[in-house]
Amino acid sequence: MESDEIRSRFLKFFENRGHKIIPSSSLVPHNDSSVLFNTAGMQPLVPYLMGQKHPNGNRLVNIQKCIRTQDINEVGDKTHDTFFEMMGNWSLGDYFKEDAIKWSYEFLTSKEEGLGLDPKRLYITIFEGDENAPKDAESFEIWKKYIPENRIYYMGAESNWWSVGDNGPCGGDTEMFYDITPEGLGDLTKNEYIKADKAQQVVEIWNDVFMEYEKKDGKVIGKLKQKNVDTGAGLERVLMAVQGKDNIFDTDLFVSVIDEMSKFANSMDEKAKRIIADHIRTSVFMISDGVIPSNTKRGYVLRRLLRRAIYYCNSIELKDKTTVDLAEQFVHIYKDGYSLKDEREKIRSVIQKETEKFDKTLKSGKKELEKIMKENNVNISGKDAFTLFSTYGYPLELTIEIASENKVKVNIEGFWLEFKKHQELSRTSAASMFKDGLAK
């Protein structure tokens, strides 16, 4: 079962249970200026989770494009990516825990309508309660109908409480994890389960958030007008489970791109190839939604991703295969799911220009960084880090990453002091030029 069929089955399953299919919103939020990108399927729906009536009713389903970059340094392992598709279904004041859990389990395990996953490989976590909300004993009782008690674990807010930010709807959740090991782990104690999670032997593939509370300025202030269900299932991780893989990069969304790189690269560095594939894919979707590389906000995130990808392309000596070629492959992979082919020329042009711009300084910047690390094998000063940024176009994060690989630290505070000095000089210079222009 490949990605297209999983998307189709998911939408059809919930449509058959009274949900209206709605389209994915843009990656760029339209109703929330506090964030750069949509980071979850529920984010565009916050007004409706707070009580506003949705034009399509109170049962919705879609597959939302999302970007999260807070775990960018984890990309290259088995499960982390910066762009992902969040399969989601919502109840806006309609059904609650009983139906949400039942349908989650049915879709994951049903061979006829769902994914046909092995229920013996499922593990469940539930919110254990704290000062904000009580222990979720109700979900435990519901799950007992489907999963043995010894595979259901109460966990704290760090893992089983979800909110969109410091303000808005929030609540405890129940999460479904799947055993991706070849032999199967069998029954696990809570401590054994936690170790398996850290080792990425079990992977979260589904999350039901029971949104019945409201947060304001970082604190839970009470209950919402209505009880909501926000379901989220990352397509890439679901694909791992369905296709019997132990990482997202061996699924049909990535494998052809990884294989293509392997033909041309002079290095067997799998992590580098995964970083390149992830960052190029994310860049393709960002550009298709109107983001252009720059040194601020969304544009800086795009520039950072592209330059990181370009750096790793060079590090594995990806001969005769360019970032534009890899971007073209992703346009082809997603040709049926999204309108990327309509933005093909823009995607090519933006990536080509950014690659050419960074290529000019990449080699000289690398030499400069190696020289700095050789001379200062313990620490890279803020001034040197800023020179790499301003003269050679190296994002601070890339300098930190390369330095870390060489066990060298970067003075991050010093970098930002230099950055602020540069901003002040730029403002003073601009003001002086403005006055001179008025005088003339």
User: Looking at the structure, do residues 167 and 313 belong to the same domain, yes or no?
Assistant: no
240-244 average pLDDT score = 95
DSSP letter at 78 equals: S
DSSP code for 407: T
Distance CA 201, CA 357 (A): 41
Across 31-45, 57-71, 109-123, least confident range: 31-45
SS3 361: helix
Q: What is the mean pLDDT of residues 391-405?
A: 85
Residue whose structure tokens are 């009983």: 98
Q: Write out the two tokens for 225.
A: 């007008």
Most confident of 65-74, 113-122, 411-420: 113-122
pLDDT band at 427 (very low <50, low <70, confident <90, very high): low
The verdict on 279 and 319 lying in the same domain is: yes
Residue 131 and residue 225 in one domain: yes
How many Å separate Cα 348 from the centre of its chain?
23
Please compute the mean of the pLDDT values over residues 377-399 and round it to a whole number.
86
Same domain, yes or no, for 212 and 345? no
Same domain, 276 and 355: yes
The model's confidence at residue 70, banded by pLDDT at 50, 70 and 90, is confident
Residue 143 has pLDDT above 50, yes or no: yes
Residue-level pLDDT at 431: 47
Across the chain, what does the average pLDDT equal? 91
Please indicate, yes or no, if residue 130 is contained in any of the structural domains: yes
In single-letter form, the type of residue at position 326 comes to L
Confidence (pLDDT) at 433? 40
Closest alpha carbon to 31 in 50, 48, 49, 44: 44
What pTM was computed for the model? 0.88
Alpha-carbon distance of 292 to 67, in angstroms, equals 15
Quote the pLDDT of residue 359.
85
Question: Is the domain of 11 the same as that of 158?
Answer: yes
Using pLDDT thresholds of 50, 70 and 90, give the confidence band for residue 129: very high
Q: What is the pLDDT of residue 437?
A: 40
Least confident segment among 134-138, 211-215, 272-276, 434-438: 434-438
β-pair type (161-163, 152-155):
unpaired
- If one compares 295 and 4, the residue with the highest pLDDT of the two is 4
- Burial classification of residue 15, based on how many CB atoms lie within 10 Å of its CB (0-12 exposed, 13-18 middle, 19 or more buried): middle
Residue 334 lies in a domain: yes
* Domain boundary, last residue among 245, 263, 292: 245
In a domain, 250, yes or no: no
Q: What is the pLDDT of residue 313?
A: 92
Q: Are residues 337 and 439 in the same domain?
A: no
* pLDDT(407) > 80: yes
- 61 within a domain of the structure (yes/no): yes
Let me know if residue 161 belongs to a domain.
yes
For residue 256, give Cα distances in angstroms to 69, 262, 316, 333, 334: 24, 10, 18, 9, 13
Q: Are 199 and 294 found together in one domain?
A: no
What percentage of the chain reaches a pLDDT higher than 70? Answer: 95
Position 431 in a domain: yes
Higher pLDDT, 435 or 396: 396
Same-domain check for residues 67 and 109 = yes
* Whether residues 232 and 269 fall in one domain: no
In a domain, 370, yes or no: no
> Does one domain contain both 260 and 241?
no
Could you tell me if 77 and 103 lie in one domain?
A: yes
What range defines the domain where residue 409 resides?
376-440
The residue among 314, 337, 361 that closes a domain is 361
CATH of the domain at 211: 3.30.930.10
Which structure tokens are listed for 277?
Answer: 């594939």
Q: What integer is the mean pLDDT of 336-341? A: 80
- 285 in a domain, yes or no? yes
Tokens of 421: 């000095």
Compute the average pLDDT of residues 218-235: 93
The tally of domains found in the chain comes to: 3
pLDDT above 70 for 194? yes
pLDDT, tens digit (0-9, with 9 covering 90-100), for 277-293: 999 999 999 999 999 99
- Mark which of 307, 328, 361 sits at the end of a domain: 361
- Mean pLDDT calculated for residue range 94-123: 97
